[in-house]
Amino acid sequence: MMKRIVVEASASSANLGSGFDVFVIGLNDPRDSIELLALESQESEVNLNYKNGYVIPGIDATAAGAVAKAVTNQFNLKYKIIVTINNRIPIGVGLGSSAASSVATAVAMNRIFDLGLSDEMLLSVAVEGEYAASGARHYDNIAGSLQGGFRIVHQRPLNTVGFPPPLGMTIVVVTPEIKLPNRKTEYARSLLPKQVNLDKMTKNISSATRVVAGFAKGDIAMIGSGLEDSVVEPARKVMIPWFDQVRDSALQVGAAGVFISGAGPSIAAVVDGLKIDPGRVQSAMAKCFADHGISAKGFITTVGGGARIVEEQ
């Protein structure tokens, strides 16, 4: 007997400046998908394939494979599992591509084998893919990809709190084409300070509470004012040439706030699309990079996302 399912999971943008490893937004686009086939077998086996799109063997394949194997082992499933990954999220640029593959695989395994896993259990399973891909068990991108919207992640005990986006909230993402270190996320985490000045910590708490209050009140300007980070971004922006200038160029044409998406190098700007043309913000950011000799690609999307089952049989 064969079982088949196709699941999509969305890109995500983590940290939102002041909310390192705690804040994340799911993005409506782009989205990855996985097709999972399960064939009854005498032994457990997991095979991985790529369909098309962004292909860097060993990154998203590692994530999806780790999740499939974790579920297979945990529930002693005697099946041959074939996972085919269709990457539409750019890989390794701070948009949660490994999280999307991990989440889609976890949702597919849960549904196809009727395991009855809660969201918290799915997060615990999917995080094994993040660990395999990046060397760290962080739940922010996974929560955004699985649940969508704005999520606040609490790790012990594991749970999340969510808010829908304010009306008109638009996200502009610009990614410079620059050379990145191997295992970029691990490297980006190695840049973080081991100790934090009390004044900087206080400032970050103040900023983070403004982000939460902004989502609770539906106030885009308030969200934007809380995106400034005094701890992580100052350490990580060395990876992104001309980051300060690009951020300023977005703010000058009306962006509410700007932050490094995840570990970068993508930069995300929050825009009130009812008042400001997000295309102007994208053009200003790309032009700033170009003025300094760096090509950049970008796209415009909204907050939403979350995983969804596309087909099953």
Mean pLDDT, residues 214-239 taken together: 95
List, for residues 112-154, the tens digit of each pLDDT value.
Answer: 999 999 999 999 999 999 888 877 788 999 999 999 999 999 9
Please tell me the pTM assigned to this model: 0.92
d(CA 313, CA 303): 30
Residue 59 pLDDT: 46
Strands 45-53 and 79-87: parallel
Angle between helices 97-112 and 140-147 (to 10 degrees): 60
The architecture that CATH gives domain 2-162 is 2-Layer Sandwich (3.30)
SS3 of 251, please? helix
pLDDT at 53: 53
Say whether pLDDT at 56 is over 70: no
Report the alpha-carbon distance of residue 12 to residue 24 in Å, rounded.
Answer: 7
The answer to whether the beta carbons of residues 100 and 11 sit under 8 Å apart is yes
Q: What mean pLDDT is predicted for residues 57-72?
A: 78
Contact criterion met (CB below 8 Å) for 34 and 46: no
CB atoms within 10 A of CB 66: 24
Among the CATH numbers 3.40.50.620, 3.30.460.10, 3.30.70.890, 3.40.50.300, which is that of 169-302? 3.30.70.890
| Dist CA 65 CA 153 (whole Å) | 24
Q: Where are the domains of the chain?
A: 2-162, 169-302
Strand order in the sheet with 169-176: 257-260, 267-272, 169-176, 296-302
Q: What is the mean pLDDT of the chain?
A: 92
The residue from 185, 228, 233, 301 that is catalytic is: 185
- What pLDDT is recorded for position 180? 80
Is 45 one of the catalytic residues?
no
The H-assigned helical ranges of the chain are 60-74, 97-112, 119-134, 140-147, 184-190, 198-217, 220-225, 232-236, 243-252, 278-291
* Active-site option among 8, 35, 128, 130: 130
Q: Is 120 a catalytic residue?
A: no
Q: Is the pLDDT of residue 43 over 90?
A: no
